[in-house]
Amino acid sequence: MASSSGPMTGPATAPSGSGPGRLTRWGKLLSRELTTVAITMFGLLAITFLIARVIPIDPVLAVVGDNARPDVYEAARLALGLDKPLWQQFAIYVGKVFTGDLGTSILTAQPVISDIKRVFPATLELATLGTLVGITFGIPLGVLAAVNQGRWPDQIARFIGLFGYSIPIFWLGLMGLLLFYAKLGWVSGPGRISIAYQDFVTPMTGVILLDAVMQGEWDAFWNGLSHLILPSAVLGMFSLAYISRMTRSFMITELQQQYVIAARVKGMSEARVIWRHALRNALVPLTTVIALSYANLLEGSVLTETIFAWPGLGRYITNGLLNADMNAVLGGTLVVGAIFIGVNLFADILGRIFDPRTR
């Protein structure tokens, strides 16, 4: 048990060893994680490949059109490799994916990978601000609920969490547009930036706010932020609900630990016990929760982007699905899956670094 003069932390700060043995353990951990990622990616590739083969859409007709002559149809089928056995088609598909070839979009006539590079920064911008909304309001709300367990602050926090989980995102987005844009005029409407400012910022990173700051275009920055506030708040509502709920759960557990009781007995202030010690240990598992919440927003913003005409990855996949552009749909799905796997791996490694009990 730590003394009152030093940082009083729980089991998460136990020593984890050092020297060659520690390097060996980390090497084994990394190899296991990479093996898991490789297997998961292989499964993702297999699923997307099979989806492309079982859906009732002829990939040849999607390329040549419904009125193509039989000889043109056959030539396109051979060019796509659809005459080969299924296992050879899968091998070719995997090889193309690992070289960055996700096919060509029917809608844009551009390589899918180029389209994704163009639209993904918009989704990244939206999901990042949405996650910041969830962290900024979700963690204090969860702490407040845990400290006042069973009382009215706890009930309010639980209601907000239930509201965030239960309200359909399309309804929340439409009501937000009606109230804050159409009625009050507090924010800008659908789209990423007003037409008047589109030529003010030269795309560099693809993130409009960042590009505007780098180029000193502050009018474009504030206009882009005005467009971003409402969709990120709608998306952040779900992140807030998830983070606040998990923060409450972790904090209730930590506040029941012996080191918290000892700190109170020694006369440490309640604020210091809660925010410096209990929350510090709760942040270990909460880091994983935040990372996974971020991944969910990156891949789950389809409805938000559709409602707010946000030119991101979710809207790109939706347009591809509505127009039978399966290269765009499957390419976007692969990217989303890879992002989720990567963020999950990052969160797992962070958890093992900060919490020796998991090693």
| Tokens 């601000």 sit on residue | 129
Q: How far apart are CA 225 and CA 302, in angstroms?
A: 20
- Which backbone phi and psi does 214 adopt, to 5 degrees? -60, -30
Count, in order, helices (H) and strands (E) of the chain: 15, 0
Local confidence pLDDT in tens for the 359 residues of the chain: 444 444 444 444 444 445 566 667 767 767 777 788 788 888 888 888 887 777 766 667 666 666 777 777 777 777 767 777 878 888 888 888 888 888 888 888 888 899 998 889 898 889 889 999 999 999 999 999 998 888 898 898 888 888 887 888 888 888 988 988 888 888 888 888 888 787 788 888 888 888 888 888 888 889 889 999 999 998 888 889 889 999 999 999 888 888 888 888 888 888 888 888 888 888 888 888 888 888 888 766 777 888 888 888 888 888 888 877 778 888 888 888 888 888 877 877 777 776 655 55
Give the burial string for 235-262 (b: 16+ CB within 10 Å, else e).
bbbbbbbbbbbbbbbbbbebbeeebbeb
Cα distance between the two ends of the chain:
21
Q: What is the CATH number of domain 113-358?
A: 1.10.3720.10
Contact 36, 305 (CB under 8 A): no
How many CB atoms sit inside 10 A of residue 164's CB? 22
Q: What residues contact residue 261 under an 8 Å CB cut-off, 6+ apart? A: none
- Which backbone phi and psi does 229 adopt, to 5 degrees? -60, -50
Could you tell me the pTM of the whole model?
Answer: 0.77
Rounded to 5 degrees, what angle do the CA atoms 19, 280, 21 make? 10
Retrieve residue 79's tokens. 């060019």
